[in-house]
Structure 1
Amino acid sequence: MGILSSDTFPLLVVLNPHSGKKQGIHVWETVVQPALNHAQKPFRLIESTSQGHVQSYFNDNIKPILTDLVQSLSIVNDPSALSSSIARPSTATLQVMVLGGDGSVHEIVNGILQGVAGTEFVSDQFRPKIEFAIIPTGTGNAISTSIGVTSVQDAVDRFLAGKVVPLRLMTVSTRAKTGQSSTFAAKWDTRLYTVVVNSFGLHCATVYDAEEFRHLGNERFRQAAMKNVENLKQYEGLLELHGPVQTYDRSSKSLGLVGGGSDSLQLRGPFTYLLITKQASLESGFTPTPFASTSDEWMDILAVQNAGQAEIMTMFGGTPNGQHVEQEKVDYFKAKAIELETPSQGRLCVDGEFLTIEGGPEGRVRFEVTLDPNIQIFSIFV
């Protein structure tokens, strides 16, 4: 059986009243809800109460939500039929609208994938499609900015128009231990999934310190960045980009494959600034990875090594229009699998959360755009 329409199933609206400048409720009541009512689009409102609440909600409820979705489309009448390979559809579409920021999307993605892990709710026999409509009421709104959304009304219009593209995920994995011993196996354990950015060095320190300026909205990132530039540090680490790898050539102003597409690449640091991302912009006026695509199978890497204060400020000055990639200290790559190793304990920023990594080969972290169709079930209205 083919893809099922979600027209008769309520749109799940996730409202984060605390994100950004806390305008979510006002935007919902004055713009979004009236538009949905006018379009006769049924919805179910889920309001976030605290950080982590939405992730827990979807972890706990995604299986009954998917069961209700299939039943509502009159495909099965038996509540147990979704666990049967006989009377169920091959796929169904669940639409989720987010009034919040990128952190809310991160929570929903991880909650859904945790909730269906190890079950038949996502399998070769039944694979749902999750379509995101992101209404930009967060602090950075990286995903919305990267796909060119200009306003709340624009985001609503795009949802109603119905065009979607894949929302590719990055896996963040660490070394797996063998049994109860301290020995590490060659395999990797996926810790979480990210949709926006993983960072190390100055960017990670900036996001970490920005919490103390949260009351300033987007301005908090500038304040935290200036604080860290004034006390600029270099961060030791080894970055391995596994082939195929693309690199930006400033002389030809184009991206090209390294070694014809088979070669890997090592950067030994120290790093001043390191981003691994799927989005071109992290906020309006800040486009650190201008060649990134929300929907392709590449991660974009911006690496700055051994830069001083003046060089970092020059780089920041070029980020509104992406011209910083022409600067000597800025290296730009694309890869599909990346590993990062630090000599001592370090910190990563993963979609605004923070992950402590151990030093040495055992503490390596791997980033990858997975091709697993049971993970890449998400898309976004554009």
Structure 2
Amino acid sequence: MGILPMSDKFPLLVVLNPNSGTKQAREVWESIVQPALNKAQKPFTLIESVAQGYTQSYFSNNIKRIIIDLVQSLSLVNDEGNITRPSTATLQIMVLGGDGTVHEIVNGVLRGVEGTAFVSNEFRPKVELSIIPTGTGNAISTSLGVNGPQDALDRFLNGNTTPLRLMSVSTKTSNNLWEISVYTVVVNSYGLHCATVYDSEEFRHLGNERFRQAAMKNIENLKQYEGQLMFYGPLQSYNRSSASFVTAINTDNDDNRNDGLDNVTASLSGPFTYLLITKQASLEPGFTPTPLAHTSDEWMDVLALQNVGRDEIIQMFGATATGQHIEQEKVEYFKAKRIEMETPTQGRLCIDGEFLTIKGGYEGRVRFEVVPDVNTQIFGVYV
């Protein structure tokens, strides 16, 4: 009989978040996605999120079993009963939700396999995410140029993917070591952007409009946020004269507490009015704060405005739809691979729409990094 697969084709996992965005995910699933999957004879398993955090817990608790079943479906057995198992496997997950649901899946998968041999140099699965945009911002989909649920579905059926590079957010432990707190896929922010996302919860019923309402509230009562950014390793800065990124010149810095890492390349001393560290060009349709960012490359894009007033902020927002704000004098734009941040007093960071409170001073430092570990960078998205 030759070599035969041990089991049937493994199903697509479909994660449905009915509460994301304007709560359109179920309608999109029933009217567009499910009929197309049935027509394509694509088997699926539906996983419905019932509360915030459910999706992350689901994958954290079940990913090992899922990988075992996936490998089993791809293993081969010959006439003598000998089994050949693959060195890699591709898990397809379709997401009907927003960036927050993607964030939960990524962190659930990675926490579920942490400290195990389920992802290693000997066996490394790939996780391909088909994001059907039904969230509020849909930053990943917008950055990839996806024009709605049908376009996203067509891209999945065409089968082309690109890496979804993750950022890690690390904090100090009691013995002064770095520990990854969370992985992020969209944006880390401080200052006005963080305050806007935080205050937008009271306007959630307005959909995307909630961010504009919250931004207006915070601009009216504009604050400056004390803090310092330290860039380590390779750094590029946007040059308005050449309209391109150029390698930054190393600068002297009196901070010698590098924990054995590379020297500080440069620093921004603040105070910050607006600060973003992101992997996505757009955070929502019509808002492209880091227009030269790429989902799949190994850089974090950093947009900063230091100690500016209402006029400069309004001017910046007015040009973000086209990305022309990066030509404005007060806007600083960088590409970096590792950043540390320190605030003099307790501060709040926005981490993919969630919030992290950090202590003031050196002990409260936070590190942002494009994860170099190939056993963590296992995710891709359909393009």
TM-score grouping bracket, smaller chain normalisation: over 0.9
Deviations 1:182-220 (A, max 9, x none): xxx2x3100000000000000000000000000000000
Q: Which moved more, 1:188-197 or 1:244-253?
A: 244-253
Cα distance between partner residues in 2 of 1:17 and 1:121: 31
| CA displacement at 1:250 relative to structure 2 | 1.1
Residue matched to 1:132:
129
Q: 1:75 to 1:61 in 2, by over 3 A?
A: farther
Structure 1 match to 2:265: 264
Count of aligned pairs? 364
- Give the structure 2 partner of residue 244 of structure 1: 234
| Shift, 1:263, TM fit | 6.9
- SS of equivalent residue, structure 1 residue 44: strand
The residue that corresponds to 1:369 in the other structure is 370
Per the TM alignment, residue 76 of structure 1 is displaced from its structure 2 partner at its CA by: 7.5
- What is residue 306 of structure 2 aligned with on the other side? 305
SS for the counterpart of 1:66 is helix
Alpha-carbon distance between aligned partners in 2 of 1:260 and 1:359, rounded to the nearest angstrom: 27
SS at match of 1:65: helix
Q: Secondary structure at the match of 1:25?
A: helix
Task: For 1:14, give the aligned amino acid.
Answer: V
Answer whether contact 2:132 2:153 (CA < 8 A) is retained.
yes
Please state if 1:151 is matched with 2:141: no
Note the C-alpha offset of 1:260: 8.0
Q: Is the 8 A contact 2:75 2:84 kept in 1?
A: no
In the alignment, which residue of structure 2 is the partner of 1:358?
A: 359
One-letter amino acid of the counterpart of residue 25, structure 1: R
Post-superposition offset of 1:37:
0.8
* RMSD across aligned positions (CA): 1.9
Distance (whole Å) between structure 2 residues aligned to residue 260 and residue 311 of structure 1: 28
Q: CA deviation at 1:243?
A: 2.3
Alignment gaps of 5+ in structure 2: 252-262
Q: Compared with structure 1, are the counterparts of its residues 188 and 168 closer, same or farther at alpha carbon in structure 2 (3 Å cutoff)? A: same
Change (3 A) 1:126 1:196: same
Structure 1: stretches of 5+ with no match in the other structure: 78-85, 179-184
**Alignment-mate amino acid for residue 43 of structure 1:** F
The 1:263–1:192 alpha-carbon spacing in structure 2 relative to 1, beyond 3 Å, is closer
SS of the equivalent of 1:366 reads strand
TM-score norm. by structure 1 comes to 0.93
* Residue number among 187, 197, 201 corresponding to 2:187 in the alignment: 197
**SS of 2:86 mapped into structure 1:** coil
Distance 2:369 2:223 in 1: 27
1:214 counterpart (201, 204, 208): 204
Query: How many Å separate the matches in 2 of 1:288 and 1:76?
Result: 52
Q: TM-score, normalised by structure 2?
A: 0.92
| Secondary structure of residue in 2 paired with 1:354 | strand
Aligned to 2:287: 286
Conserved 8 A contact 1:88-1:126: no
